[in-house]
Amino acid sequence: MVNLQGKFLIHAREMGWTNPNKRVLIALSGGVDSMVLLHLFLTLPEDERPQISAVHIHHHLRAASDQEATALKALSVRQHFQLIIRDWAPEVHPKSGIEAAARHFRYQQYGGVMEDVQADWVATAHHADDQAETILMKWVRGGEIAQLRGILPVQSFGSGELIRPLLSFSKADLRDYAMNQGLTWFEDATNQSQEMTRNRMRQQVIPRLKVENPQFLAHVEDYAGQLTDLLEVANLQIERLLAIILTSAHPLVGSVVVLSGCTDAQQRLVIQAILKQLNPELSVQTSQVAAIQRLITNQYRTQGTIDLGHGWRFFREYDQFGAEKVKPDVKSEQSSPDFMLKLNHWYRLSKFEEVGLMTSQPNTGDVQQVWLTPSAFPVGVRPWQPGDKYRLANGHHQAVARLMVNDKVPQSQRNSVNVVSTHDGTILQVIHFRRATQNAADQRQTGSQPYYLVLRQHYPKGD
């Protein structure tokens, strides 16, 4: 039989949990596992025993819950430990997803009570069988390899740490200990239900694996430890790569050139880390990582976006990549104007800029002289369109789309590019980018006269 009490003491000393000046908050459900955990802490040598508090979550899901809460109160008085009970009111229970909601409520309350009693640790009674169940469930469901570490022995939580001191012991070890010590506990009948995946793993799958190899639980623990070590080393390497690749954290922007220079495996791991850094709630799919990797390494596709879900998207714009919240696709008058230019009037192009077509040359602003015949009117400002071209100095024409490619205008900004166009569609100017070239023939056309296309800064009062 396992000397559980002796092994627990050794483990507690190694982990630093035997400090009488600190406080442990035990998550006490009333089941055999948590009752054993409480007893192990209560029976530590007095000079090595931390101050002990316990928190019980009354879920109001079973008829026996009231009786269990009353019994735990009585136990706390007899054993001289502080017990805090938190109620999950029936009126806030969801109609579906009750198990996940209950877990969320529990840990939320653990954090709050931890702060209230100024505890250093919250201790839960997860054991080796729980670990095996968790890892098998995550393996079956699929996901990120880091999830196969299962339940972590120690992790940051609230104002201190969340600890699982019983992960090295099996369910059988805990039950034997409870019976030998004469402990009382409560059985949750829902643990026998075959509707829950965890219960099927517990009652059907894991017992068969133990028959195949009695050391099954020990091997699971060993693999989880090895994987944790490997991921720790890998994460350090990824952090070093991120420091080189990312040029900005807020907003998240990085170098395509540097990331492309990494090995394929490094690229995939870095991309996963970037997405997790962006939003820890994102479920990173292998297909998404592969799509991003193809976008980054494609020499012929220098721009593109990939939907990440949850309102996020990944983008590449030439030599940069990044991720951002998706903005609503709403056109505004400022970013996409569409209006006619009446002679000698100013029109708002943006908040701080105006455009006008003048009959005499002004002494301010960015001025372009244009020769126009009466048939060229009305002249207007509008968003560029596929097929728009402007005349070059050599007499040839270039597409506005090609201009934006050559000038490496990001895809996200192209919809806000505007042109000044005559009635017959001749482009006079790609605003902020190029002026169309006119020649002597334009001046010699019948009725042709000089006009002045002007952009000027304008600051409204108060700005």
Statement: residue 450 has pLDDT above 90: yes
Statement: 225-325 belongs to CATH 3.40.50.300: no
Segment 396-421 shows an average pLDDT of: 88
The verdict on whether residue 248 carries a ligand-binding annotation is: no
The verdict on whether residue 31 carries a ligand-binding annotation is: yes
**C-alpha 343, offset from chain centre:** 53
In the numeric block, the tokens 């025993």 are attached to: 49
Statement: residue 382 has pLDDT above 50: yes
In the numeric block, the tokens 């205008």 are attached to: 409
How many whole angstroms separate alpha carbon 414 and alpha carbon 399?
14
Q: What is the pLDDT of residue 335?
A: 46
CB 396 within 8 A of CB 437: no
CB 270 within 8 A of CB 233: no
Characterise 307 by phi-psi region: left (phi > 0), alpha (psi -120 to 50), beta (else). Answer: beta
The verdict on whether residue 32 carries a ligand-binding annotation is: yes
How many whole angstroms separate alpha carbon 324 and alpha carbon 311?
9
The encoded tokens of residue 42 equal 């209560």
Q: Are strands 380-383 and 389-391 parallel, antiparallel or unpaired?
A: unpaired
Burial of 189 (0-12, 13-18, 19+ CB in 10 A): exposed
Count the Cβ atoms, other than its own, within 10 Å of residue 85: 17
pLDDT per residue as tens digits for the range 284-330? 788 889 989 999 998 877 888 888 877 888 999 889 999 888 765 44
Segment 3-10 shows an average pLDDT of: 95
pLDDT per residue as tens digits for the range 208-259? 999 999 999 999 999 999 999 999 999 999 999 999 999 998 888 999 999 9
Q: What is the pLDDT of residue 357?
A: 95
How many whole angstroms separate alpha carbon 430 and alpha carbon 100?
56
Phi and psi at residue 306, in whole multiples of 5°?
A: -135, 125
Phi and psi at residue 251, in whole multiples of 5°?
A: -75, 165
Q: What is the pLDDT of residue 411?
A: 78
Say what the pTM is: 0.68
In the numeric block, the tokens 């954090």 are attached to: 111
Segment 271-282 shows an average pLDDT of: 83
In the chain, CATH 3.30.465.60 covers: 225-325
- 460 against 92, higher pLDDT: 92
Q: Give me the half-sphere count of Cα atoms (radius 13 Å) on the Cβ side of residue 407.
A: 16
Q: What is the pLDDT of residue 332?
A: 40
Q: What is the pLDDT of residue 70?
A: 94
Q: What's the mean per-residue pLDDT of the chain?
A: 90
Q: What is the pLDDT of residue 336?
A: 55
pLDDT per residue as tens digits for the range 94-138? 988 888 899 999 999 999 999 999 999 999 999 999 999 999 999
CB 137 within 8 A of CB 197: yes
CB 135 within 8 A of CB 148: yes
Q: What is the pLDDT of residue 331?
A: 42
The architecture in CATH of the region 4-212 reads 3-Layer(aba) Sandwich (3.40)
CB 84 within 8 A of CB 117: yes
Q: How confident is the model at residue 197 (pLDDT cuts 50, 70, 90)?
A: confident
How many whole angstroms separate alpha carbon 356 and alpha carbon 367?
10
CB 349 within 8 A of CB 337: yes
- 444 against 70, higher pLDDT: 70
Q: How confident is the model at residue 364 (pLDDT cuts 50, 70, 90)?
A: confident
Segment 321-349 shows an average pLDDT of: 74
In the chain, CATH 3.40.50.620 covers: 4-212
Q: CB-based contacts of 25: which residues, under 8 Å, 6+ apart?
A: 53, 54, 55, 110, 113, 114, 117, 119, 121, 122, 123
